[in-house]
Amino acid sequence: MIRIENLSKSYGKLPVLKNIDLDIAAGETVAVVGPSGTGKSTLLRCLNLLETPTEGRVTIDGLSVDACHLTQKEIYAFRRKSTMIFQDFCLFNNKTVQQNITLAMQVVQKINKEQAEGEAEEILQQIGLLEKRNNYPGTLSGGQQQRVAIGRAMVLKSKVMLFDEPTSALDPCLVGEVLSVIKSITQKHNTTIVIVTHEMQFARDVADRIVYMDEGRIVETASPEVFFTNPAEQRTREFLQYYMN
């Protein structure tokens, strides 16, 4: 479903991603973990071209883009292959909860209002926020906002969902409600998920594969079982030792 080939990204002279290669199968859930500032988020943002890679090729669902020659049209088409959930939710503050969810359906997918609202209602039920449909984001808790952001992405039914540290900005007591929504998506097995996270236990629970990144490179890729009990690389072991305490 996703193929990343020789992907590099630098800001000026500062390299952030160095020759990343990764294949992700349809329906797979991949957790990307690693120390802060090692390019995990940048990798994710390159997958929907919020960042333009400096070099390399990315393919999602049969659509391939090359970093060296990108047209605006390609960027728009490629972005529609995936949806993204951000660390700080980024809900549209001028829209109600329901409008946040229906906006892209109406504007991008050109679905009529009644149908869009019908689908939004289904999603709102799934994320447990039906009664908040007419609230504005400013009146919701962080956890509720993030659930809406997930709903906004889910409703577009794209085959790929990208989660960029979805619980990092939340109070510890609100992390659970968000994780459980994400977990319910992973259990349906028809969405390919890449999630950057610092929640190791969660990664272990939901991921089919763990990717460990450090200093802009993929150090190790393994099943959660192997990754957490018997990692191959010394650096991975040090990281786990530090994080699991």
Phi and psi dihedrals of 2, rounded to 5? -120, 130
CA distances from 212 to 139, 148, 198, 220 (A): 37, 29, 11, 5
Instruction: Identify the three-state secondary structure at position 59.
Output: strand
- Nearest 5°: the CA angle 110, 111, 114 is 140
CB nearer to other proteins: give 38 or 83: 83
Give CA–CA dist 157/162, Å, rounded.
13
* Sole window of 19-27, 102-110, 112-120, 196-204 interacting with other proteins (rule: CB under 8 A): 102-110
Residue 111 touches other proteins, criterion: CB under 8 A = no
Q: Residue 221 CB, nearest distance to other proteins (Å)?
A: 25
Least Cβ distance, residue 226 to other proteins (angstroms): 32
Single out the segment in contact with other proteins by CB under 8 A; choices: 26-34, 52-60, 79-87, 208-216: 79-87
Site for other proteins in 120-139 (CB under 8 A): 135-139
Size of the site for other proteins (CB under 8 A): 33
How far apart CA 215 and CA 126 sit, in angstroms, is: 38
Q: Which of residues 147-206 bind other proteins (CB under 8 A)?
A: 149, 152-153, 156
Buried b (16+ CB within 10 A) or exposed e, 23-32: ebeeebbbbb
How many residues appear in the chain? 245
Out of 3, 18, 57, 80, the residue judged to bind other proteins by CB under 8 A: 80
Strands (E), 67-205: 82-85, 160-164, 192-196
Phi, psi of 46 (to 5 degrees): -70, -25
> Between residues 72 and 230, which has the closer beta carbon with respect to other proteins?
72
Q: What are phi and psi of 83, to 5 degrees?
A: -130, 160
If the CB atoms of residues 149 and 210 are measured against other proteins, the closer one turns out to be 149
Stretch that binds other proteins, among 12-20, 85-93, 216-224, 226-234 (CB under 8 A): 85-93
Judged by the rule CB under 8 A, the positions of this chain that interact with other proteins are 48, 50, 76, 79-80, 83-84, 86, 88-94, 96, 103-104, 107-109, 135-142, 149, 152-153, 156
